[in-house]
Structure 1
Amino acid sequence: MQTHEIRERFTQHFVNAGHTEVPSASLILDDPTLLFVNAGMVPFKPYFLGQQNPPFPNGTATSIQKCVRTLDIEEVGITTRHNTFFQMAGNFSFGQYFKEGAITHAWTLLTGKVEEGGYGLDPERLWVTVYLDDDEAADIWHEKIGIPKERIQRLGMADNYWSMGIPGPCGPCSEIYYDRGPEYGREGGPIADDNRYMEIWNLVFMQNERGEGTGKDSFEILGPLPKKNIDTGMGVERVACILQGVDNVYETDLLRPVINVAEELTGTTYGSEHQVDIRFRVIADHSRTGMMLILDGVTPGNEGRGYILRRLLRRIIRSARLLGAQGKTMEAFMNSIMDTMTPSFPEIAANRERIVRVAVAEERAFLKTLESGTHLFENAAAEAQDAGRKTLSGSQAFTLHDTYGFPIDLTLEMAAEAGLEVDTEGFEKLMGEQRARAKADSKAKKHGHTDLSVYRDFVDNHPTEFTGFDELETTSSIIGLVKDGESINQAHEGEEVEVILEATPMYAEAGGQLGDRGVIRAGETLLQVNDVQKIGKKLWVHKATVTNGGVDVGSTVTAEVDHKWRHGARQAHSATHLIHAALREVLGPTAVQAGSMNRPGYLRFDFNYTDQLTPEQLADIERITNQAVDIDWDVNTIETTLDEAKAMGAMALFGENYGERVRVVEIGGPFSMELCGGTHVKHSSQIGPVAVLGEASVGSGVRRIEAYSGMDSFQYLSKEAALASGLAASMKTPTEQLPDRIAALTEKLKAAEKQIAQLHQQQLAAQTAGLVNQAVDINGVKVLCSRLPEGTKGGDLRKVATDLRGRFGQDPAVLVLATEDGAKVPFIVAATKAAVDKGVKAGDLINVLGEYIGGRGGGKPDMAQGSGSQAEGLDAGFNAVKDALQQLVG
C-alpha cells in the first residue's frame, strides 16, 4: 500500500466517523516556543488550552500534519525509525468521545479489511501499552477490543504520560505497537524490544491539569480538566514501513527512490555496510526535510530556521561526496523527492522551480569550500590521532568555521566519526575574540599548527607486531623515535621520547584496558615506558623516559612488560567480563555494556539501565562473579571470523567496526563470551576475589559499577573487616550483630534528637510568648516587630510566627520577626486574616525590611520569608515597615 493511499484511508476513516478534515498547517507557526511544528497537535493547542473554542461542528477533527524534529538529526540513519520530517496522522476530540472512542477508532482502522477501507493488519501482531494505573484503558483493550492481557503492558510517566512540558492539560496515553517478527529482535513486547515491536500510534487521553515542574515525570498533577479531550498521533512513515514490507522507514516508496538516485550518482550500493547505509539514509531523509522546509518558505542562513536548513543541505552534500559523488547532486535529489511527495502535497508542483533553485544555490556555495575544508579537517584529525590525542583543538575548529565556512556542528560530527572530541571552549573563546576585534587580528592567531603527520608512514608501511598475548618479553628493533611531534634519530638520558618498535609485548590502551607499563633495554641503556597508545589501529607508540644511557633508531632492544602491572590488568579485565555476565544474569539482557575502564586491581563498568540497583541486586552480582572465580573456569581465546563469532553467541559491543578476523574471549562457555582484544588470565580463579564497591548514575539511562579485583580487593576487604572488628569491639557486640546494634543506637539517637527538638520548641515558645504584649497599635492594627534570641535557627521563625499570630485571634495584626543565625539574618512577616482583609500583604512588607538588611524574600499575603546579611539595619527596617503600615491603613 503506497503512502499516499495510507493517508487517504486514514482521512476517510475519520471523516466517515464525523470528524472535520483539517489541512496540515505550515511547518512554521507563529509560536515563539517552536522553530518548527513538531507534533500533530500543535495547530490545535489553542483549543486544548481553552484559549479558543474549536470551530468544528461535531467537536472532532482529523489531520495529517507535517512535522520536523531537529533533535532527531543525529539519529537519522543510525536507527531505522527516526526521520527529521514525518507525517503525523491524528484524530482529535474536544469534550466528545474519550478513551473507548479513541481506542475503537484506531483498532477499527488498523485491523479493518483492506477492501473496506482499513489497513488489514493482523490483530494477533498488535500490542499495546498503557499508563501504570490506567485500569480503564487496560480494561477497554482487553474486554471491549479483545487483546489478551499478556499483550497489554504498563509503563510509567516517562513513557506513557503526556504533557506539553508546561502547566496545562496532560494525561495518560496508550501506545499501539506492531510485532515485526523474531527476525527483528527478542520476544517480550515493547518493554523488551522496541525495535521488533514498532510503535505506530499514540492515543493521548487528556484528562488532567499539570502544574509546574521539569522533565517528563517531575510535575504535580493538579486535578481533572473540565472537559476530557483526545489527541492521537499515528506515524504515517512507520505504518508505510509495515504495509510495504520493508525493513525501515528509509526504504518506503517515499524515500527509497532518492536512495536509488544516490546509488546512480555515487556508484556505491545501498545495503553493502552499515556506515554506507547511514549516509544513504541521511541523503534521503534530509532531502525530504530540506525540500519541505524550502516549500514552507525557509531559506539557508546562519541563524534559527535558516541554520537548520543549511545544516541539513550541507550534510546531504557531504554524505554524497563520502559515497563517491564527484559532481553536483542536489537537483537530482530534490527532483526525486518532489516526485514522490507531490501526490500527498500537490502544492509542491507550483513551487518546484523555486525549491530546486534554493537547494542548488546552497550546494554551489558549499562545494567551493567543502573540498579545502575537508582536507584541512583530515590533516588536523590525523595530527591529533597520530599524537595520541583525542581532542581537536579549538583553534582548528575555529579555522574551519572562519576560513572554510564549516558550521561547528559539522566539525563536531566529523570529529565524532573520527573518534575525536572538539575543544568547544577553545572554539567559543576564539569566536568571542573574533567578535571583539578586527578580522585581521584574529587571523594572526591561526597559524603554526604543529605537523604531527610523522606517524603516517609507520601506520601505512610498518604496522607494529604485537606479541603480548604469548610473551611478556620480546627482542625487537627501534624503527622510529619521535619528540615534540618531530622525528629524531637519537634520544639521550633524561629525555621523554616516543618509541616505535618493530614488535612489542606491551599492550596499547584499547577496549577500556589501560596501556602496559614496562621497560626497554639495550645493554646499559634503560627506558621506562609510562604508557602505550595505538595510532590508526596499527601502530604502537611507547611513551618513555630515557633513565640511563642513550638510544638510536635501528638499535636492537628488549621490550619487557612490568609483570605485576600485566597480572593486575589481566585480573581486572577478566573480572570486567565476569561482572558483565553477572549483571545480565541479575538484570536481564537489556543491561548492555556502555563503556568500561580497567587498570591493575580496579575496574569500572558502565551499562545501559534506568533504575538504581538495589543492595540485594548488587550483592547478587558480587556473589555470582565470585562464584565464577571459585569454579576456576578455563579462560579460552578463539580467533575466528566475525560471522562465526556471532554464530557462537559472542557479544559485539559498542557497535564497533570489527575486522574480518576477531578474538573471542570465553569464560565458562555460555556464561561469558565476548569479542575482546584485551589481555586475560588463564583461569578464572587467577582473578582472585572481586569486591563490588557500589553503583551510581553517570548519565541519562547509564549507570556505573565499580569494583576491586585481586590483591586490591583483598586489601579492601581486609580494611572493611578490620573496621567492622574494631567497631564490634568498641560496642562490645559480636560482629554479626553489628547491624542490629547500630540500628538500635540510631533509633535511640533519633528519639533523643526529637526530644531535644521538642524541648527547644517549648523553650522558644516560653521565651517568645510574652512578645505579644510588646505589640503597638497602628490605626487599629497591632504590629509586633522583634528580634528573636541570637542563635535561633531560620527554620524556627515560621513556627514562632504561626504561634504568635494565633495568639492575636480575630484581631488585625502583623508580626515582623528576625534573628541572627551566624552570618545570616533570616526574617519573616506574618499577618492575620483580619489584617489581610485590610489590605496588608506580607509579601510587600518583606521587601521593605529586606532593603535595610541586604536581603530579599517572598511569599503569600498572610506570610512571607526572606534572608539578609546586615543585622545592623534591623531597627531601621522595623521602623520602615511601621511607616509602610501607617500609610497603608491610615
Structure 2
Amino acid sequence: METAEIRRRWLRYFESKGHSVVPSAPLIYDDPNLLFVNAGMVPFKPYFLGQQTPPWSRATSVQKCVRTGDIEEVGKTSRHGTFFQMNGNFSFGDYFKREAIEMAWELLTTAQSEGGYGLDAERLWPTVFKDDDEAFALWRDVVGVPEARITRRDENDNYWHMGVPGPGGPCSEIFFDRGSDYGVEGGPAVDEDRYMEIWNLVFMQYELSAVRSKADFDVAGELPARNVDTGMGLERIASLLQGVDNLYEIDEVFPVLDRAAEMTGKRYGDRSGHDAAHSHPDDVHLRVVADHVRSSLMLIGDGVTPGNEGRGYVLRRMLRRAVRAMRLLGYEDKALPELLPVSKDRMKASYPELETDFARISQIAYAEEDAFRRTLVAGTTILDTAVSRAKQTQASTGGQAPAQLSGAQAFQLHDTYGFPIDLTLEMAGEQGVQVDEGGFRRLMQEQRDRAKADAKAKKAGHGSTEVWKELRALGATDFRAYDALDTEATVSGLVRDGALVDELEQGGTGQVVLDRTTFYAESGGQIADEGIITADGARLRVLDVQRPVKGLVVHSVEVLEGALRRGALVQAQVDPEWRLSACQAHSGTHVVHAALRQVLGPSALQSGSYNKPGYLRLDFAWNQALSPETRSEIEDVANRAVRQDLPVSAAYMTLPEARERGALALFGETYDEQVRVVEIGGPWSRELCGGTHVQHSSQVGALTLTGESSVGSGVRRVEAFVGLDAMRYLAKERALVAEISQLVKAQPGELKERISDLLTRVKDAERELQSVRQQQVLAQAAQLTGQAKDVFGVRFVGHDAGELSGDEVRSLVLDLRSRLGDGSPAVVAVTGVAKGRPVVVIATNPLAREWGVRAGDLVKVAATTLGGGGGGKPDLAQGGGSDATKVGEALQRVEHTIGETVTAGR
C-alpha cells in the first residue's frame, strides 16, 4: 500500500467517525520555542493548554514534521531521519479512552479491502501505564486482547507530559510483532526491535503542578476536560504495510536513494567487510542523500530559504550535506537537478502544491548547490591553508597535542564562505586536525545575540506570556482596523514592566489593552499604526501595536498628559496620514509582486516583505540579478497597474476555496480556517493577506524602484518608494541631475556621454601620472644603490619613499635588488605610505639567504613596529601597519635584526 494511500485512509476513516479534517500546518510554525513543527500535536497545543477554544470537538490530521536534533546520526542507522509525517486524531473534551482504543483497533485490523490497514490482530501488543487499570480492562474486555499480550509499563515509557507544569496523563501504545527474524520473544518490554511501536494514544486527564523529570512529577488533580492526543508515524506504518525494514525503503524515500546509487555506481546494502551493526560508508551517504533531499524539498515548499541563521541554516546544512555526500560517493557533477524531481514526483500525491510550486522550489535548491560548489572550491583552499598553518604551529612549538583550528577560523569559514561547522569538523578531521568547536559556538551565539538585540529591545515592554493569557481570557479584542480610523473603547487592562497595574501615570510608558481597536497590529510585513488614545484628562501616544497572543491586540504607549486607569472609556484615533501611507505601501507591495510575476514568470514568488509608510521591500525567489532593462519593465508594469485604477477588494473564505481561486499564500505563514483574500484587479493580484489596503490602485500613487540585491541563495530583494515618498525621491534625483548638468556644462540628455568622456580622460591622466611617478621612483634607484650600508658584510638599502602605493614600493625594491646584484649578500627594505597607512616591502638576494637573512622574518619585525603584520617568502615579503610615524624606526629595527642574524650565524 503506497504511503499516500495510507494517509488517505487515515483521514477518510476518522472523518467518517465525526472528526474534522485539519490540513497540516506549515513546517514553520508560530512558536518561539520551535524551529520547526516537530510533533503532530504542535498545532493543537493552544487548545490542550487552554489558551484557545478549539473550533471542533474532535479532529484529525497528517502533520508534516522535522526534527534536527540528531542530524549527525542520519544515515548511520536506518532509524534516524529528519522529515516525517505524523497521523493524529484528537478529542477536546469529547471522547476518551474507550473510543480512542476502539477506533485504533478497528482501523488497524479492518481488512484492506474494506478500507482498513489489514494488520494481523494476533501480532498487535498493547502497552498501558502500570496503574491504568481502566485502559488495561478496555484492551482485555472490550477489544479482546489476551492479558498475556497487554504489558504494563512505568512513567518512563507510558506517561506523557510536556516537561513543564500543565496537562499530562497515561499513554497506551500499540506495538507490532515483526517476527523472530527481528529479535526474541517476550513483548515490547523485552525487545523493541522485534516489537515495533506504531501508535501512541495519550490520555490527558491530569493537571501536573510540578515536573522534575520524565518520571518525577506531582499531580494536582483532574483536568476540567479530558482530552485525547494520538500519534502514528506514517513512515513507520508504511514500512510495515510495504514489507520493508525501514523508512529509507518506503515508496516516498527509496526512489531518491536508488537514483543516487545509479548516478554514483554504488550498490545499496553492500555489507562486504562490515558487520550487521555497522553500515557500509556508501550506505550511510546514500541515506543522507535520500533523507536530506526530501526534507529540503518540504522545507523550501513551506517557505524556508537557505541562510546562515536558524531555519535557513538548517536547510542550507541539509542541502550541502546531500551534495557533499554525493561527492564522497564519487559524483562531481550537479546532483540536485537529478534527485529533487524524483522526490517531488513521490511526494506530490500527498502534497500537490509541490508540483505547482516546483519551479520556485527547484530554483532555490539548485542555486544553493551552485553556491556550495563554488564554496567548496574557495572554502577548501582557505581550510587547507588554515590546516597547514595549524600543523606548522603545532610542529614549531613541539607540542604533543594534535594541531587545532581556532574557533575564530571555523567561524570565518562559516560566516564568510558558507562552510557549515560540521563540514569544517569533517574535513579538518580527515587531515588529523581538531577544531575549537566551543569557541566557534561562542562566536555563533554572540552573533545571534547581536541579531536579536533590536527585536528584543522593541518587544521588551510586552510583558510575560502569563499576563497576556490572563487578559485574553477576558475576551478577544474587537479588531476594526479594516473599517475605521477611530473608535470608542474601554480599557480592559494596563501593563507596566510585565505586570498588571491599575493606572499608567503621566510621563510613563506601558501597554494598554482595549476591548476594541482600530489600530493595526504589526503582522504580515506591515508595521503597526501610530496615533493617539485620549480619555478624560489623559492623552497617550501609541508607539507600537502587537499581538502577543492570538486574538489580543496590545498598544505600547507613552502617557503625554494626565493618567489612564483600567476601565476608563477612551477614544482610539489612528493617525490618518500614517494609515494612508501604510495602505499605499502594502498595496504597492502586492502591485510589485504581481508585476514581478508578470515580467519574470510565475516562479518569482514572494518569500517575505516589509512595508511602512512610503516604503516597501519584497523578497522573491530568483537566482540572478535583474538587468536595468528588466527593472524598468517591472516598474513600468507596476505603474501602469496604478494608473488603471484597478479595484481593490477583500473577502473571507476557507483556505481550500482561496487556493482553488488561485490566491497566493506567503510561505511559512500559518492561516486560520477562514482566510482573508485581497484582490487588485481581480485575478491580476490575488493574495492571502491580513493587512490594510487602499480602495483603488490609483491611490498607491507614484511607485519607483530604488534598489535590487541578493539576500541569499536563490532569493532577491527589491525596494521601492510609494506615494509622496516616491515623488520626493524623484525630486531629489531631478535636483541632483540638474546640479551635475551645471557642473559638467551639459544638458540632462547628454550627461551619460559627457560623464563617460570625463571618466576616460581622468583614467588616461591617472595612467600618465602613474607612469611619471614610476619613472621618478626608479630614477632614485641609482642614487640609493650608491648609499647602501655595510651591515656585518651585508649590503643594506633602507629607504622611506614617502607617498607611494604598495605596488610602487614593490617595483622599487625589485629594481634595487637587481642593481645590487648577486656578488655579495644584499637586503633591500623600502617603506611607503598609501592613504595614510604604511606599507613595507623587503627583498633579499641568494647570498643573504645563505647567511640566514630571510625577507619573511624581517618584514614581520618591520610590520610589528608599524602596528600591523605581514609575511611572505624568504626572497620577497610585504607587510603593513597603522602608524606611519614609525617608518624610520621600522627600518632601523630591520637593520639591527640583519646584524643580529649575521653575527649569530657566525
Which TM-score band (shorter chain)? 0.5 to 0.7
1:63-142 aligned at under 5 Å gives the runs: 66=76, 105=265
- Tell me, yes or no, if structure 1 residue 761 matches structure 2 residue 777: no
CA contact (8 A) 1:664 1:675 kept: yes
C-alpha displacement at 1:603, in angstroms?
Answer: 1.6
Q: Give the whole-Å Cα distance in 2 for the aligned partners of 1:196 and 1:555.
A: 53
Q: 1:192 to 1:643 in 2, by over 3 A?
A: closer
Q: Give the whole-Å Cα distance in 2 for the aligned partners of 1:595 and 1:574.
A: 15
C-alpha displacement at 1:549, in angstroms?
Answer: 4.4
Aligned to 1:723: 736
C-alpha displacement at 1:645, in angstroms?
Answer: 0.4
Matching residue within 703, 708, 712 for 2:725: 712
Aligned to 1:499: 512
Q: 1:196 to 1:185 in 2, by over 3 A?
A: farther
CA contact (8 A) 1:478 1:499 kept: yes
- SS of 2:798's equivalent in the other structure is strand
Aligned to 2:579: 566
Aligned to 1:679: 692
Instruction: Kindly provide the amino acid, as one letter, of the partner of residue 596 in structure 1.
Output: S
Aligned to 1:806: 818
Aligned to 1:877: 893
CA contact (8 A) 2:463 2:495 kept: no
Q: Give the whole-Å Cα distance in 1 for the aligned partners of 2:754 and 2:79.
A: 57
Q: Name the stretch that deviates more: 473-482 or 535-544.
A: 473-482
Q: Give the whole-Å Cα distance in 2 for the aligned partners of 1:69 and 1:616.
A: 52
Q: Give the whole-Å Cα distance in 2 for the aligned partners of 1:69 and 1:770.
A: 78
CA contact (8 A) 2:860 2:869 kept: yes
Q: 1:523 to 1:700 in 2, by over 3 A?
A: same
Percent of residue pairs bearing the same amino acid type? 35
Q: 1:858 to 1:170 in 2, by over 3 A?
A: farther
C-alpha displacement at 1:687, in angstroms?
Answer: 0.2
Question: C-alpha offsets along residues 747-771 of structure 1, whole Å, 9 cap, x if unaligned?
Answer: 1111111111111111111122322
Aligned to 1:653: 666
Aligned to 2:381: 213
- SS of 1:658's equivalent in the other structure is coil
CA contact (8 A) 1:493 1:547 kept: yes
1:405-804 aligned at under 5 Å gives the runs: 453-522=466-535, 525-699=538-712, 701-775=714-788, 783-804=795-816
RMSD of aligned alpha carbons: 5.3
CA contact (8 A) 2:809 2:832 kept: no
CA contact (8 A) 1:522 1:557 kept: yes
Q: Give the whole-Å Cα distance in 2 for the aligned partners of 1:160 and 1:194.
A: 17
Q: How many residues align?
A: 554
C-alpha displacement at 1:729, in angstroms?
Answer: 2.6
Q: Give the whole-Å Cα distance in 2 for the aligned partners of 1:425 and 1:545.
A: 19
Q: Name the stretch that deviates more: 565-574 or 190-199.
A: 190-199
- SS of 1:819's equivalent in the other structure is strand
Instruction: Kindly provide the amino acid, as one letter, of the partner of residue 510 in structure 1.
Output: S
Question: C-alpha offsets along residues 542-587 of structure 1, whole Å, 9 cap, x if unaligned?
Answer: 2233434444433333322211111011000101111222223344
- SS of 1:681's equivalent in the other structure is coil
C-alpha displacement at 1:171, in angstroms?
Answer: 4.6
CA contact (8 A) 2:502 2:565 kept: yes
CA contact (8 A) 2:853 2:898 kept: no
Aligned to 2:218: none
Q: Give the whole-Å Cα distance in 2 for the aligned partners of 1:879 and 1:197.
A: 58
- SS of 1:657's equivalent in the other structure is coil
Aligned to 1:330: none
C-alpha displacement at 1:674, in angstroms?
Answer: 0.8
Q: Give the whole-Å Cα distance in 1 for the aligned partners of 2:860 and 2:247.
A: 51
Q: Give the whole-Å Cα distance in 1 for the aligned partners of 2:740 and 2:782.
A: 46
CA contact (8 A) 2:801 2:809 kept: no
Aligned to 1:322: none
Question: C-alpha offsets along residues 638-670 of structure 1, whole Å, 9 cap, x if unaligned?
Answer: 111111001111111132221111100011223
Q: Name the stretch that deviates more: 641-650 or 781-790.
A: 781-790
1:4-83 aligned at under 5 Å gives the runs: 66=76
Question: C-alpha offsets along residues 57-106 of structure 1, whole Å, 9 cap, x if unaligned?
Answer: xxxxxxxx737999x96x6769999xx9979999xxxxxxxxxx986957
Q: Give the whole-Å Cα distance in 2 for the aligned partners of 1:524 and 1:423.
A: 34
- SS of 2:833's equivalent in the other structure is coil
Q: Give the whole-Å Cα distance in 1 for the aligned partners of 2:363 and 2:729.
A: 43
Q: Give the whole-Å Cα distance in 2 for the aligned partners of 1:524 and 1:598.
A: 35
1:161-176 aligned at under 5 Å gives the runs: 171-174=332-335, 176=338
Q: Give the whole-Å Cα distance in 1 for the aligned partners of 2:818 and 2:79.
A: 56
Q: 1:582 to 1:425 in 2, by over 3 A?
A: closer
Q: Give the whole-Å Cα distance in 1 for the aligned partners of 2:525 and 2:556.
A: 18
Q: 1:577 to 1:797 in 2, by over 3 A?
A: same
Q: 1:576 to 1:188 in 2, by over 3 A?
A: closer
- SS of 1:680's equivalent in the other structure is coil
Question: C-alpha offsets along residues 756-796 of structure 1, whole Å, 9 cap, x if unaligned?
Answer: 111111111112232222335679x7623221333333442
CA contact (8 A) 2:363 2:714 kept: no
CA contact (8 A) 1:571 1:681 kept: yes
C-alpha displacement at 1:508, in angstroms?
Answer: 1.4
CA contact (8 A) 2:708 2:718 kept: yes
Q: Give the whole-Å Cα distance in 2 for the aligned partners of 1:851 and 1:515.
A: 53
Q: Give the whole-Å Cα distance in 2 for the aligned partners of 1:642 and 1:657.
A: 11
- SS of 2:769's equivalent in the other structure is helix
Q: 1:210 to 1:534 in 2, by over 3 A?
A: closer
1:309-320 aligned at under 5 Å gives the runs: none
Q: Give the whole-Å Cα distance in 1 for the aligned partners of 2:600 and 2:820.
A: 60
Q: Give the whole-Å Cα distance in 2 for the aligned partners of 1:794 and 1:686.
A: 57
1:215-230 aligned at under 5 Å gives the runs: none
Q: Name the stretch that deviates more: 748-757 or 569-578.
A: 748-757
What are the ranges of 5 or more consecutive residues in structure 2 without an aligned counterpart? 4-68, 87-232, 236-245, 256-260, 270-292, 294-318, 388-435
Q: Give the whole-Å Cα distance in 2 for the aligned partners of 1:588 and 1:618.
A: 14
Q: 1:867 to 1:634 in 2, by over 3 A?
A: same
CA contact (8 A) 1:572 1:601 kept: yes
Q: 1:687 to 1:788 in 2, by over 3 A?
A: same
CA contact (8 A) 1:582 1:625 kept: yes
Structure having greater relative contact order (Cα 8 Å, sep ≥ 6): 2
Q: Give the whole-Å Cα distance in 1 for the aligned partners of 2:880 and 2:565.
A: 71
CA contact (8 A) 2:622 2:714 kept: yes
- SS of 2:706's equivalent in the other structure is strand
C-alpha displacement at 1:813, in angstroms?
Answer: 4.8
What are the ranges of 5 or more consecutive residues in structure 1 without an aligned counterpart? 4-34, 41-64, 91-100, 110-128, 130-157, 220-302, 309-393, 395-407, 427-448
Q: Name the stretch that deviates more: 170-179 or 689-698.
A: 170-179
Question: C-alpha offsets along residues 380-431 of structure 1, whole Å, 9 cap, x if unaligned?
Answer: xxxxxxxxxxxxxx9xxxxxxxxxxxxx9xxx9xx9xxxx9799999xxxxx
- The two structures have a TM-score, normalised by structure 2, of 0.52
1:329-340 aligned at under 5 Å gives the runs: none
C-alpha displacement at 1:808, in angstroms?
Answer: 4.2
Q: 1:606 to 1:816 in 2, by over 3 A?
A: same
C-alpha displacement at 1:620, in angstroms?
Answer: 2.6
Question: C-alpha offsets along residues 607-634 of structure 1, whole Å, 9 cap, x if unaligned?
Answer: 3444333333332322222121112110
Aligned to 2:856: 843
CA contact (8 A) 1:162 1:172 kept: no
- SS of 1:457's equivalent in the other structure is helix
